[in-house]
Amino acid sequence: MGAMEVKTVHPPNETLGIVYAASAYSLWGVLPLYWHALDNVPPFELSFHRMVWCAIFAVAVTAALRRTKSVLSAVKTRKVLLALCVSSLLIACNWTIYIYSVAKAELVEASLGYYINPLLSIALGIVMLGEKLSPLRVAAIVLAGIAVTVKALGFGHFPWIAVGLALTFGFYGYARKLIPVAAFDGLTIETVLLFPFTAGILLFWGWQGSGQFTAAHLGTDALLVLGGPITALPLALFAAGARRVRMSTLGFLQYLSPSITLLIATLVLGEAFTLTDAATFGCVWLALILVALDGRLRSAIGAEA
């Protein structure tokens, strides 16, 4: 008899899953243009509006889909509730830093943060989950460290936007990986947990007369309100896509978002891409190539075993 034929098992509806996931990452990539259209709103106020309207939208969708019982049952466990409190703070910090980067025309650095994020996830897997570290992954993490150092030396200050985005999203992903709650249910709970604080601050600013909502143009108010569904939609698409595609495919698609953001920052919004940026991104891209090669080697070894 000849050698046994090994068939590759593909998840069901993978093509549809790729469409969903690619749509999610593409939307995340172009979102800076949306926040840029609201540059008359202070970054912290804009971030709080994003959280408030996302909470309202998420609760409405949860009720429409009749998932209220599912959401309430998730928060009955004290451990899960505490974990979601932590993840809500992490995603709030991530959103705020990102909107700040748009307001301060630092999207090139922001896109660097999301390129670094997969490398940080590898480091978290090693430190927090005891995963094994291959030589190629050691080299990738070292290159990421060199990239941050080059950026710091080139600008004379620590690239806190890139590192802050990578850390908050990396730890958020780690936390959500361990929390047994569906993606959209989790977002609903996280934003509702933040709602008393974020809504309270916005009401206080409105009472003081310093808030932009209803005080500015009607178009600004509409954009602020629509920020809720625009925040929730990519996550819903991502959740739908993640269930249908292989992790290797999802890992490749995740670079769509920072790539689109980098192009928008330099070609549309006119941010400079300096030699320092070229050296920094070169180190990170080389690190990501090493991670991809490591993944291929592991797959090849696994297939031969």
pLDDT digits (tens, 9 = 90+) for 210-248: 777 766 678 888 999 999 999 988 888 887 787 777 766
Measured distance CA(187)–CA(59) in Å, rounded? 10
Which pLDDT band holds residue 8 (cuts at 50, 70, 90)? very low
Summary mean pLDDT of the chain: 83
Q: What is the pLDDT of residue 178?
A: 80
By mean pLDDT, which of 19-23, 29-33, 172-176, 300-304 is the weakest? 300-304
Share of the chain above pLDDT 90, in %: 36
Which pLDDT band holds residue 86 (cuts at 50, 70, 90)? very high
pTM of the model: 0.82
pLDDT digits (tens, 9 = 90+) for 110-156: 998 888 887 777 777 777 767 677 787 778 878 888 887 887 777 67
Identity of the residue numbered 228: G
pLDDT at 95 > cutoff 90: yes
Q: Which residue has the tokens 């797959």?
A: 299
By mean pLDDT, which of 24-38, 70-84, 138-152 is the weakest? 138-152
Half-sphere exposure of 248 (CA within 13 A, CB side): 11
Which pLDDT band holds residue 7 (cuts at 50, 70, 90)? very low
Mean pLDDT value of segment 65-94? 91
**Residue 26 DSSP label:** H
pLDDT at 283 > cutoff 70: yes
Measured distance CA(235)–CA(28) in Å, rounded? 9
Q: Which residue has the tokens 């009472």?
A: 207
Mean pLDDT value of segment 84-110? 93
Would you give the end-to-end CA distance of the chain in angstroms?
20
Distance from CA of residue 14 to its chain's centroid?
A: 22
